[in-house]
Amino acid sequence: MECDPVSPAVELTPAAAGLLRRLRADHGPLMFHQSGGCCDGSAPMCYPAGEFRTGGSDVLLAELAVEGMSERVPFWMSRTQYAVWAHTRLIVDVVEGRGSGFSLEAPEGVRFLIRSRLVEGNG
């Protein structure tokens, strides 16, 4: 599936890229999915590539290039969550503290989260 050309940009902070490199070394190729919902459901979850099944209710927002990784990391979001974030630039970051989801970084004592800023002229 191709990335939607009008979707918001997704980028990684240096901390998020570093964590992805460590997770890649332990788990192989990776993917993100952000489903929406409450609590950690609105945080991006990192899985081994292909472990989370995507479908027609999901949008591929980006395929993130991470220095030191040979493959890109797809970033998927549920269509309903995408409707909320459609006018923002998504920035994947890492903070201390364990999330309650099944994301690969949970045992590391950190969790991925989204920071965002509005995109001008989009819409």
CATH number at residue 85: 2.60.300
- Residue 65 sits in which domain range? 10-118
Examine residue 57 and state whether it is found in any structural domain, yes or no. Answer: yes
Domain count, the chain: 1
One-letter amino acid at 30 equals L
2 lies in some domain: no
Is there a domain that residue 123 lies in? no
Instruction: Give all strands (DSSP E) within 3-99, no chain letters.
Output: 10-12, 30-34, 45-48, 58-64, 73-78, 88-96
Q: Is residue 111 part of a domain?
A: yes
Which pLDDT tens digit goes with each residue over 35-59? 876 554 578 999 999 999 999 999 9
For the stretch 83-120, pLDDT in tens is 888 888 999 999 998 776 789 998 889 999 999 888 77
In a domain, 84, yes or no: yes
User: Can you give the pLDDT at residue 22?
Assistant: 97
